């Protein structure tokens, strides 16, 4: 069986091949058409294990996944999380995901969303240090205002659902600094608190809604 999925004039293609009782996925394309963060999220959401290779200007970058989590990255002589940050600077290049390819070593083990937020935050900080604004064109003061408003939106969601029972969650959100990365990290704690003390049925739905809100803001 072979199945092709094309989006916006062949931006990417997923091919499913059957060999005996085994299925495996092939993902390839150009990052100028299909942004690297979207590719990473897709692989992570599928809990895939393998290597994402990006060829650019006769050079190669690689990102390794283990059951959806990112465990290693390399770009030229740079290794680890710093390599992920540098990969975001690639404007055009061919990518190819090779299933079940494992790295020689694991330098970290993180959720794709958390790593993307960290890498983007590091990239923005380097741009600011060089005298640039962030990718949205906002100054640092404007960015603080955006984070403040984001916190208020998160708190409103929690209040609408749980009222005064959610005071601990409000305190947790307000303690976060002015970065999406720390707010994203707080979602795991919020999810556990809701499960234990407030709502053992819908805790995952609520925490995912908060994560989605943070992702939209960046």
Judge if 119 and 64 occupy the same domain.
yes
Judge if 111 and 141 occupy the same domain.
no
Domain that includes residue 46, residue range: 4-124
Judge if 117 and 184 occupy the same domain.
no
- Residues ≥6 apart with Cβ < 8 Å to 1: 16, 17, 18
Residue with tokens 């959401």: 45
Judge if 94 and 142 occupy the same domain.
no
Q: How much is the pLDDT for 201?
A: 92
* Residue that finishes a domain, picked among 95, 124, 153: 124
Judge if 34 and 111 occupy the same domain.
yes
Q: Does a structural domain hold residue 167?
A: yes
Judge if 9 and 91 occupy the same domain.
yes
Q: How much is the pLDDT for 125?
A: 66
Q: How much is the pLDDT for 23?
A: 39
Judge if 180 and 104 occupy the same domain.
no
Q: How much is the pLDDT for 215?
A: 79
Q: Does a structural domain hold residue 81?
A: yes
Q: Which helix (H) or strand (E) holds 24?
A: strand 22-30
Phi, psi of 9 (to 5 degrees): 60, 60
Q: How much is the pLDDT for 157?
A: 94
Domain count of the fold of the chain: 2
* Residue that finishes a domain, picked among 103, 124, 145: 124
Q: How much is the pLDDT for 148?
A: 87
Q: Does a structural domain hold residue 166?
A: yes
Q: How much is the pLDDT for 85?
A: 80
Q: Does a structural domain hold residue 60?
A: yes
Judge if 100 and 201 occupy the same domain.
no
pTM for the complete prediction?
0.51
CA distance 164 to 37: 37
* Residue that finishes a domain, picked among 124, 154, 185: 124
Q: Does a structural domain hold residue 211?
A: yes
Judge if 119 and 199 occupy the same domain.
no
CA distance 72 to 82: 11
Judge if 12 and 111 occupy the same domain.
yes
**17 pairs with which residues across the strands?**
24
Q: Does a structural domain hold residue 130?
A: no
Q: Does a structural domain hold residue 24?
A: yes
Q: How much is the pLDDT for 91?
A: 78
Judge if 100 and 189 occupy the same domain.
no
CA distance 63 to 53: 7
Judge if 31 and 81 occupy the same domain.
yes
Strand order in the sheet with 78-79: 4-6, 12-19, 22-30, 94-99, 50-56, 59-66, 69-75, 78-79
Q: How much is the pLDDT for 177?
A: 74
pLDDT along the chain (218 residues), means of 10: 38 39 62 84 90 92 94 91 83 90 88 79 62 50 80 93 92 82 82 90 92 79
Q: How much is the pLDDT for 3?
A: 36
Q: How much is the pLDDT for 72?
A: 94
Q: Does a structural domain hold residue 129?
A: no
């Amino acid at each position: 069986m072979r199945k092709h999925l094309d989006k916006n004039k062949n931006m990417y293609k997923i091919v499913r091949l059957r060999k005996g009782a085994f299925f495996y996925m092939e993902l390839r394309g150009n990052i100028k058409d299909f942004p690297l963060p979207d590719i990473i999220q897709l692989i992570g959401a599928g809990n895939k294990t393998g290597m994402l290779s990006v060829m650019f200007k006769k050079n190669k970058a690689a990102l390794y996944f283990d059951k959806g989590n990112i465990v290693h990255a390399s770009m030229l002589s740079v290794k680890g999380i710093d390599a992920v940050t540098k990969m975001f600077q690639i404007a055009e290049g061919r990518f190819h995901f090779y299933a079940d390819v494992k790295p020689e070593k694991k330098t970290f083990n993180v959720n794709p969303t958390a790593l993307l937020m960290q890498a983007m935050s590091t990239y923005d900080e380097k741009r600011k240090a060089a005298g640039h604004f962030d990718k949205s064109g906002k100054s640092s003061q404007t960015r603080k205002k955006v984070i403040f408003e984001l916190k208020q939106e998160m708190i409103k969601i929690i209040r609408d659902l749980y009222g005064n029972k959610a005071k601990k969650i409000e305190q947790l959100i307000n303690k976060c600094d002015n970065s999406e990365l720390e707010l994203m990290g707080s979602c795991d704690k919020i999810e556990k608190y809701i499960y234990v003390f407030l709502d053992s049925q819908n805790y995952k739905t609520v925490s995912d809604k908060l994560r989605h809100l943070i992702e939209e803001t960046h």
